Structure 1
Amino acid sequence: MKIQIINGPNLNLLGVREKSIYGDASFETYLETLRARFANISIDYYQSNIEGEIINKLHEIGFGYDGIVMNAGAYTHTSIAIADAIAAINTPVIEVHISNVHKREEFRHKSMIAANCKGVIAGFGMDSYRLALEHFIL
């Protein structure tokens, strides 16, 4: 089984930015934990701050992977283009968020991509990624 994790803008700064919201661990550190826990599956990771690069990655892997776990960051709330890319591929996508976006600013309450995703997981910290992975392997 092959799963791709895609993180969007500013998530390269996890462990450094807004620790009260996102925690103090880098995603790379958490990724090691995920790969150890799910050693029987291949977990690839991609992060970009650029919308077009995220779309290109979806196009590249969207027909050959078993699942995509995506935290589109702020693009969640703005990107019709990413929503269209998700709709265009065969691989199911689960939208994840570290924080509970519904407890934050009102503009974060609307997801442009959710309607094209298999599901949405938010508010469980980094464990949001684990929960999404568990869906794909069960």
Structure 2
Amino acid sequence: MDWRVAAVITMLALGVYNILVKKFIETEDWRVMIPIVFVFSLILFIYFLLSYPAFIDRLTPNSVFLAFSLAFIMGIAILFTYVSFKEGGPINVVVPIFSLSTFISVVIAVVFMGEPILPQTILGIIFSFLGLVLLIYR
């Protein structure tokens, strides 16, 4: 699969995810999600282990550290997504704020990973900030 297709699918999935989280938070106790997500994740993990037995042989201390770091950071992101919506944040403002994570990713990629920064990248970041300002201050 082309990376662009995968990125568009991710964008669509996250767009639907944010709407569903907002709807859930409006009517339900968000803590109900924790055991459901845990069980679903466990089922996916077991399926993964059964379908990819060489997984164990590929584990390294670095891969375990990175995987736990990713899980921890995603847990924080998911928790504060729920908090943002539970505290009454409008979806058309909260989600654009989330999308500014692009800026964080670009800075980290340029500074720590040596990726080039292009003029269109800088313009994209500027337009993202301008768009957010327009959404927040109406």
* Band the TM-score falls in, shorter-chain normalisation: under 0.3
More strand per residue: 1
Q: Which structure carries more relative contact order (alpha carbon 8 Å, separation 6+)?
A: 2
Superposition TM-score, scaled by structure 1 size: 0.26
More helix per residue: 2
Superposition TM-score, scaled by structure 2 size: 0.26
